[in-house]
Amino acid sequence: MRLLMAIFAVVLLASCSASQPITERGRYDALSATVWFQTSGEFRALCFQAYQLAGWRLDADLRDSARTKPRAVIVDVDETVLDNSPHQAKVMQNDTAYPAWWRQWVEKADARPIPGALEFLKHASSKNVSVFYVTNRSADERAATLKNLRQVGFPDADELHLMTREDESSKEVRRTRIAQTHDIILLIGDNLGDFAAAFDRQPLEARNGAVERLQREFGSRFIVLPNPLYGDWESAVFEYGGGLTPERRHQLRKSILRSFE
Ligand SMILES: [Mg+2]
């Protein structure tokens, strides 16, 4: 009996040590990024930099451009005006992955603003520039999203100005709709899909090629926020394949690195 138990213990130990590194590896891939996002002054500084530039661009447009329609700025929500990094931390602590805990996090409506976002959007609103929140959060997350935006104090946080995900994840249709009634003077986001259809679900080379082509737009009409936690930059590495194991994702990340001889 004692021998049997000893064998059982050895087998159990072996299976644990075999599975441990896989989950550890999967978690570790996002750990540095999350610590950087939550604690670094550099992250905050980049956000302030982006929103300060947005403010200058907005003021320049008000001063220099004649517009026929009312002005609007389009902002994305997640990791552009709201900081969801506590969700990322929760997922890692519990050794799970998105969409685990997402619903609970959204329902709390407790996300803090991204640095600089609140001041910039209040400034835009004070100049009669409409703010549209174009997000791929789902329709059933609308109420909690509006609650969170209002709680933080964001302007135009109402049914008309919040555009959640419709039939497709591309934001182009929603941008086109806004452009019918407004002159869109700025687009602000953390994911290239927040700016133009040219970036939607493109393979790595094509999306980077589009960045080269549209380079003059960045810092001009497109304002980009840093997000090393997730995004199409990462989905492109995984070739937009869903349901990959943490181990496979780790392998793909490593395999794409550029090194030297
Ligand atoms: Mg986002």
> Which element (helix H / strand E) includes 187?
strand 183-189
Residues 6+ apart with CB under 8 A from 113: 81, 82, 83, 152, 154
Instruction: Tell me the CA–centroid distance for residue 216 and ligand 1, in Å.
Output: 22
| CB contact at 8 A, 170 and 198 | no
Cα separation, 95 vs 104, in Å, equals 16
Instruction: Tell me the CA–centroid distance for residue 232 and ligand 1, in Å.
Output: 10
Instruction: Tell me the CA–centroid distance for residue 74 and ligand 1, in Å.
Output: 12
Q: Give CA 111 to chain center in angstroms.
A: 13
Instruction: Tell me the CA–centroid distance for residue 189 and ligand 1, in Å.
Output: 6
> Going residue by residue through the chain (261 aa), what tens digit of pLDDT does each one get?
555 555 545 444 444 434 444 456 665 688 899 999 999 999 999 999 999 999 999 999 999 999 999 999 999 999 999 999 999 999 988 888 888 899 999 999 999 999 999 999 999 999 999 999 999 999 999 999 999 999 999 999 999 999 999 988 899 999 999 999 999 999 999 999 999 999 999 999 999 999 999 999 999 999 999 999 999 999 999 999 888 888 888 899 999 999 999
Instruction: Tell me the CA–centroid distance for residue 191 and ligand 1, in Å.
Output: 6
Instruction: Tell me the CA–centroid distance for residue 225 and ligand 1, in Å.
Output: 9
Give me the torsion for CA of 212, 224, 126, 178, rounded to 10°: 60
> Which element (helix H / strand E) includes 250?
helix 246-255
Instruction: Tell me the CA–centroid distance for residue 83 and ligand 1, in Å.
Output: 9
Domains of the chain listed by start with CATH number? 24-254 (3.40.50.1000)
Lookup: tokens for 19: 């599975």
| CB contact at 8 A, 224 and 218 | yes
Instruction: Tell me the CA–centroid distance for residue 222 and ligand 1, in Å.
Output: 14
